[in-house]
Amino acid sequence: MRVATSILRPFWGCVDDSISALRRALNEVESIVTLTGAGISAESGIPTFRGKDGLWRKFSPQALATPEAFRRDPKLVWEWYDWRRCLIQKAEPNGGHYALAELARRQAARSGSFTLITQNVDGLHDRAGSQNLLKLHGDIWLVRCVGCGKEQCNEEAPLKELPPRCDCGAWLRPGVVWFGEELPRGVWERAVEACSRTKIMLVIGTSATVYPAAGLAKVARNAGAQVAVVNPDPSGIDDLADWILRGLSGEILPRLL
């Protein structure tokens, strides 16, 4: 059973008080894990998937984000990814991405551990300076050959040819994880391991509705960690959170430093 200490007391009150208390806790723990989702990039102008202006309001996940969709109509799938790659290429990381990179540096300076797990494929954490990221759902800037399996970085946006082809002649697919596909095994194992030994887990900008990623907070919680949610709206794991900071990550995360 989890024992709450006085400094990590569950706090549902005023956001300012929660931020101060969580900041103190982050300064003291030896290990921190964060799980980010599309919401952390919303303030950079990248649409989220769900919610009022989410991608899934306009586009069907079955038609665009499954291996069957790619087999059926690779050109349609690539048009959507090409459009998103163009949007992302023009975007910049925001204060939330930079705050997490800084938090990692501070943890390293005090010999603590910091693991950044992301469901995002946009690369904005990398561009903000985060390192050793665990990318659960791949990377939109990677392409993988459906014939020979070769994976490579491709940052051309827009692409000249849709669908793009590998040197071997087969089609390339986006290096992301679609519904029904397994997460990259080594990455998933490292994420579970980090969650099993962390003292605090920050869950930022995710609806926590897509599994197995959404299950990581429970792994941390079952191992005795405190869980803090940063989100302007309710999410699928609010019921197990010790801290709920209602607000935009681009505003809240810099205040945790």
Q: Annotated catalytic sites, by residue?
A: 137
Which entry of Zn ion, ligand BJW, none binds 22, CB below 5 to 8 A by partner kind?
A: none
Measured from the CB of residue 144, what is the shortest distance to Zn ion in angstroms? 9
Strand partners, 142: 153
- CA-based R_g, the chain, Å: 19
Q: Shortest gap between Cβ of 1 and ligand BJW (angstroms)?
A: 26
Residues 167-226 that bind ligand BJW (CB under 6 A): 176-182, 205-207, 209-212
Per CB under 5 A, contacts with Zn ion among 117-156 are 145, 147-148
49 binding partner (options Zn ion, ligand BJW, none; Cβ < 5 to 8 Å by kind): ligand BJW
The contacts of residue 41 (CB under 8 Å, 6+ apart) are 48, 91, 94, 97, 120, 122, 124, 205
Report in angstroms how near the CB of residue 166 gets to Zn ion at its nearest. 3
Task: For ligand BJW, give the closer residue by CB, 43 or 242.
Answer: 43
Q: In 3D, which of 86, 192, 92, 91 has the Cα closest to residue 136?
A: 192
Q: Is 94 exposed, middle or buried (0-12, 13-18, 19+ CB in 10 A)?
A: buried
42 binds ligand BJW (CB under 6 A): yes
Nearest alpha carbon to residue 217 among 248, 238, 231: 238
For 102-152, give the DSSP string: HHHHHHHHTT-EEEEEE---S-HHHHTT--S-EETTEEEEEEEETTT--EE
Q: Residue 202 in contact with residue 230, Cβ under 8 Å?
A: yes
Nearer to ligand BJW by Cβ, of 39 and 164: the residue is 39
CB of 50 to ligand BJW, least distance (A): 4
Residues linked to residue 153 through DSSP beta bridges, in sequence order: 142
Point out the residue whose Cβ comes nearest to ligand BJW: 39
Residue 147 binds what, of ligand BJW, Zn ion, none (CB under 5 to 8 Å, by partner type)? Answer: Zn ion
Residues that bind ligand BJW (CB under 6 A): 37-40, 42-43, 48-51, 54, 65, 119, 121, 137, 176-182, 205-207, 209-212, 230-233, 235, 248-250
